[in-house]
Structure 1
Amino acid sequence: MREYIAVFDIGTSSVKGVLVDRSAAVTGDCSVPVNTYYGDNKEVEQSPSEWLEAVKKITDYWWRNTAVKPSEVTAVTFSGQMEDVIPIADGKCDRAVLYSDTRAVEEAEYINKVCPDLASKSGNTVKSSTPLAKILWLKSHQQEIYHEAESFVFSSKDFIIYKMTGRKVTDPVTASTTGMMNLKSGKWMPDLLNLFNIKKTVLPEILKPEENTGFITDSASDETGFLTTTKVLAGSGDAAASTLGAGAVNKGDMYFYIGTTGWAAAVDTTIRDTAESVFVLSHMKTGMYITIAPLLNAGNVHQWALDFLIGSSDTDRYELFDSLVNESPPGSNNLLFLPYIHGERCPVHDHQAKGAFVGISPTVNKSDFARSVIEGICFSYKQIIEETLPLRSKKYINLIGGGAESTVWCQILSDITGEVIRVPAYSEYLTALGAASSAFIHNGWTEDYQSFSESICADESAIYYYPVEENSELYSEQYKYFLNMYPGVKDIFY
């Protein structure tokens, strides 16, 4: 009998689903967009019911449009956005507070004041995005929601697991972002919870990504079509799934991710002291850690530039934008772009930061604006690997995510960073494959995450981009000016 794994990636902009067979072939690719609510007071929220409806639409698509039968699905696993706070009361949640919600500034400052050494245990400095701070914010500002909550979960996929099995769980990767888990032990810190009067019973159980959380309930079977004999695994936070999918499992392995937002990440065997804006997370592979430098500005800035310079109606606007970029020489006729349109987390931590063009002259034209946008984003990647992620072992850096589909973007990234950029084939599926690794291990299809990476994520058809020496020399000079842009303009906007 054929056997498949159902994989859901519950992200910020959409819920994606694929079916993966034993040979790691992907079928049933389906994506359903979800809405985000942005309030006047820094609220960034989503409706968990939309995540569930999206999952139901995806499974309905599978049973109607693929040859896969529910009886052939052996397990369901996940990746999902992290740093959320999802209060569950009476089996439901009306609003999930997302990772990019920054209302809890005062609470984060208070936590760091009373627990100055917390980062040495949790691995991360508490920020306004940290779930611990958000829980305290709810306790102070939305007391009814806080007191009615039977439990809190911290990833979108945790909520779907709850709706599928009735069990409240999370994984060590997601728990790493909460500020409440000891990174070395992988357990909640009872002394910290007592200090802030948070009952351990409201927190989910921490399970490894490959552990079984339970089976599909009767009601979930009716809604999704999965059989009640189908296992539901804990899965992992999206950053770890991407890391595994990018083949980063050993010390010094590094990769770039360019999606709506972006990051650079490196794997290590130790927990390093890092800058405030950098995350240290558990790896799916036990005993390994992921250091992640997050960028709020990546593909979303590219989308802004598309709307600004091309318009939203052209069906081939991506190709038109790349052509426009190619019309401009490296360096964009000395036009520089600071890409902090959405504020920034790394290499600067400033949610009030703004974007800027500098160097407009009579010789600058539309194509220079297009190219400088891509160059500005790539300068940010260069800055974070130089300032926060110096450790790397391979002679190339893997690039995954939607940005990897643009050959123009890939070459500029190579020229600016001076690194060989490797783009695996089908990089758009690598996060899903990384998430699927947990089910491969659970099913006994592969021995461990190391062997999965070597056998499944290895890709002989990858494309390599090599830095052009002349371009890299030019960009090295421009980079010096780029580093001065944020300090030079930040006071203008305050």
Structure 2
Amino acid sequence: MSKYVMAYDIGTTGIKTCLIEIDKEIRILASATEGYNLYVDEETGVKGGSEQDADEWWSAMCITTKEVLKKCRKIKKEQIEGISFCSAMQGLVLVDREGKCIRRPMTYMDQRAREEIKKGIAHGVQIAGAEVTKLLKYLKYTGAVSSSVKDPIWKYKWVEAHEPENFKRIYKWLDVKEYMILRCSGEFVMTNDSAFGTLLYDTRKGHEGWCKPICDMVGVNIEHMPEIKASTEKVGEITKQAAEELGLAEGTAVYGGGGDASLIGVGAGATEIGDTHVYSGTSGWVGTVVPEQLVDAGAMMAAIVGANPETYNYFAELETSNKCMGWVKDHLALDEIGVFLKKYGHKKDDLEEESFNLYDYLEEVIDRANPGSDGVVFTPWLHGNRCPFEDPNAAGMFFNIHLETGKTELIRAVVEGVCFHMRWMLERQEQKVAKYKTTNAVRFCGGGALGASTCQILADILQRDVEVVDSPQNIGAVGAAACIAVGTGMIGSMTEVKKLIPAKITYHPNKANKAVYDRNFEVFKNLYKCNKKNFEILNG
């Protein structure tokens, strides 16, 4: 018998709320989206700042929940088995005893804590950006190391150094979805994968939990860390107040869910060892399911704890992926947008549909340019970069522009640049994961996977089959629904989720485009090496 759940995908720029049916497949019955602000740099009052307003998250969640229920009136709120979450990870949400935010949450993109990371770990004799003795201690307990300025430890230390009055008010340190769980249920909890994302989590078998030796080493008060729960566990119930604001039934079960790095692969159906998925949303990444912890400190890659306790996700991240196409839409394709609006009209009553149609139109523009963009190469580092090199000074660029270069070549080069970076991360990953008999095909998901031209470009650049599932922009919510399905026994394990999420279309690589893409890819990799010092001069 079909079961109905409500799943929330809380991203960097908006929330996607889905009413989902779980039966022989996991099927989205209705969805709604609502945006919110991202406050960066001068809007935060500090260079490198990246913050959001937790009340805006909650407002967007309430709006979209009611909208989804309105779209699917045949399903009553009392029929919903539970709610679950997928969200951006490595945020810092500091709350007091009443559950109120002490300050605006910092996002995973925040890179203000440069002095804090220097004092905490990036000093003395270093390997991969970390002082040697601390690096070894980290690897012993956690299997990873907090050597990125964007890691939440250093944001926490920044608050301690710069906002002492706020620091004194801290009751618990939460991540994004954990705050939403608190708002729904009144429970202060954190799931295993989010706990690992703090890089304060002991991953040794039999010792799983908050790691006091690491907390003491980096100066974190372990009392600030909440109770840890499983992603598939019921962690609470919707309170009366939250039920009234959301339009859901009081007492509806709230499940732990997971972070986007944990659940997007699940929602894409990449759940077995060796399965690889590529995600292109605001940020992007390459992830491969592995049976053990792996780390490549030099490339800032590690096998992270996920929603499945039996496996890990070997993970490499790009800070700005499909966000680059948002930049194109806002700053480069203005003439094309004018043509689009004139040709297709302006539908103020359905902005989401208009946005999809606009991106479809930009896909038509991309197809007018030749593969390889006539030698133009774009670097997608619009907010620094993390893998396979960590550099907050790295920035985007167009390289090799001539008088005959047109806007179509520039727009196509942006898509190719994102795909080149995915290839770079995947090739570095394969140095570690090839022994697990990785699949030739990769699952491509996120908003970037909505465009057929983008999917084909990725297949051509990777020279691998690219598989896309239904509603690839909503697979975070599908992964969150899977947590409920496993938690209630509807599905036996996370591995079995793959059977419920088949690929809808497969793109095969065009071998005729291999040579031009191999050539441009070599140039792409050289651009960072040749410009590292220039980035430091301009942005350091």
**Structure 1 and Structure 2 fold alike (TM over 0.5):** yes
Q: Does 1:200 align with 2:208?
A: no
Task: Provide the residue aligned with 2:197 in structure 1.
Answer: 177
Paired residues for 1:379-390 under 5 Å? 379-390=420-431
| TM superposition shift of 1:240 | 0.9
CA distance in 1, matches of 2:406, 2:180: 48
CA distance in 2, matches of 1:388, 1:168: 35
CA distance in 2, matches of 1:319, 1:251: 34
One-letter code aligned to 1:298? S
Q: Deviations over 1:373-429 (max 9, x none)?
A: 222111111111112344252121110011111111111111111111111222223
- Give 1:428's match in structure 2, choosing from 460, 463, 473: 473
Q: 1:87 to 1:64 in 2, by over 3 A?
A: same
Q: Does 1:28 align with 2:30?
A: yes
CA distance in 2, matches of 1:320, 1:248: 30
Q: 1:285 to 1:329 in 2, by over 3 A?
A: same
Paired residues for 1:171-250 under 5 Å? 171-184=191-204, 185-196=207-218, 198-250=220-272
CA distance in 1, matches of 2:265, 2:253: 24
CA distance in 2, matches of 1:408, 1:50: 34
CA distance in 1, matches of 2:65, 2:329: 33
Q: 1:133 to 1:88 in 2, by over 3 A?
A: same
User: SS where residue 295 of structure 2 aligns?
Assistant: coil
One-letter code aligned to 1:98? T
Q: Does 1:153 align with 2:174?
A: yes
Q: Which stretches of structure 1, 4 residues or longer, exceed 3 Å deviation after superposition?
A: 62-65, 194-199, 312-317
Q: Deviations over 1:360-380 (max 9, x none)?
A: 223322222222222211111
TM-score, normalised via structure 2 length: 0.86
One-letter code aligned to 2:134? C
- Give 1:91's match in structure 2, choosing from 95, 99, 121: 99
Task: Provide the residue aligned with 1:351 in structure 2.
Answer: 392
CA distance in 2, matches of 1:421, 1:65: 32
One-letter code aligned to 2:461? I
Q: Deviations over 1:419-475 (max 9, x none)?
A: 111112222232211111111112221111122222x1134xx21111111211221
Task: Provide the residue aligned with 1:144 in structure 2.
Answer: 165
Single out whichever of 145-154 and 314-323 deviates more from structure 2: 314-323
One-letter code aligned to 1:487? K
| TM superposition shift of 1:317 | 3.5
Task: Provide the residue aligned with 1:60 in structure 2.
Answer: 66
One-letter code aligned to 1:183? T
| TM superposition shift of 1:247 | 1.8
Task: Provide the residue aligned with 1:485 in structure 2.
Answer: 527
CA distance in 2, matches of 1:169, 1:9: 18
Single out whichever of 170-179 and 196-205 deviates more from structure 2: 196-205
Task: Provide the residue aligned with 1:309 in structure 2.
Answer: 332
Gaps (5+ residues) in structure 1? none
- Give 2:150's match in structure 1, choosing from 122, 129, 134: 129
CA distance in 2, matches of 1:174, 1:151: 14
User: SS where residue 192 of structure 1 aligns?
Assistant: helix
Q: How many residues align?
A: 490
Please, what is the CA RMSD of the aligned residues?
1.9
CA distance in 2, matches of 1:354, 1:82: 23
- Give 1:115's match in structure 2, choosing from 125, 134, 149: 134
Q: Deviations over 1:337-365 (max 9, x none)?
A: 22222221122211111222222223322
Q: 1:196 to 1:396 in 2, by over 3 A?
A: closer
CA distance in 1, matches of 2:524, 2:286: 19
Task: Provide the residue aligned with 2:502 in structure 1.
Answer: 458
Task: Provide the residue aligned with 1:38 in structure 2.
Answer: 40
Note if contact 2:172-2:225 (Cα within 8 Å) is conserved in structure 1: yes
| TM superposition shift of 1:201 | 2.7
Q: 1:464 to 1:3 in 2, by over 3 A?
A: closer
Q: Percent identity?
A: 26
